[in-house]
Amino acid sequence: MVSADQITQIPTEGLLAAARAIIQAAEYCFLITLSESGEANARLMQHFKPDDDLILWFGASPRSRKVQNISRDSRVTVVLEDPREAAYLTLQGSAQVETDLNVRRQYWREDWVAFFPAGPEGEDYVLIKFVPARIEIMSFERHIAPEPYGLQPAILIREGEGWVRR
């Protein structure tokens, strides 16, 4: 087992690589928004694979509860799991609704036509852009789990254009 001191020796880039690997492996994730009364609303979502800055994109209806929640309060949490590696990732940050047609075309899946019959050009399709500001990661496969079995995950905080350990 890896000690907490050994975990702190994993470089930030190694933690970011582990985070990217978990996102890539996860077909779905939980997108958690805050209701008007402050209650958490969680739903299973299919995300697009992240860009270099770990920004995630989701398709949604502009009339959906998640879009309404984000319009009121941009604070969002995304949780992903890779059970093959006994790994999880919790991302906290902010989300915004994106309506630009070119971006909607870029982030479109043909199998979503069942949910959005007019495709990315339709008025019932928008995107949610999620920008993480905090990363919490555990991966037993990558030895990011100190004794006693993960009571202290690795945490990264976005500072400017980069990430620092907490």
What is the structure's pLDDT at 163?
Answer: 95
pLDDT at position 116 over 70: yes
pLDDT average, residue stretch 60-75:
97
Note down the domain range covering 33. Answer: 4-165
Q: Return the CATH number at 90.
A: 2.30.110.10
Domain count within the chain: 1
Tokens of residue 155, six digits:
């945490």
Higher pLDDT, 148 or 85: 85
**Tokens (6 digits) for 46:** 């299919």
Predicted pLDDT at 5 = 54
- For residue 8, pLDDT over 80 is answered with no
- What's the mean per-residue pLDDT of the chain? 91
E-strand spans in the chain? 29-34, 40-45, 56-60, 75-82, 87-98, 126-139, 154-159, 162-165
User: Tokens for 131?
Assistant: 């920008």
Reported pTM: 0.90
pLDDT value at 4 more than 70: no
Model confidence band, residue 148 (pLDDT cutoffs 50, 70, 90):
low
Do you know the residue count of the chain?
Answer: 166
60, containing H or E segment: strand 56-60
Q: What is the mean pLDDT of residues 36-52?
A: 94
pLDDT at position 147 is 61
Share of the chain above pLDDT 70, in %: 91
CA angle, 106 then 109 then 112, to 5°: 135
Alpha carbon separation from 157 to 15, 63, 132, 134 (Å, rounded) = 12, 32, 9, 5
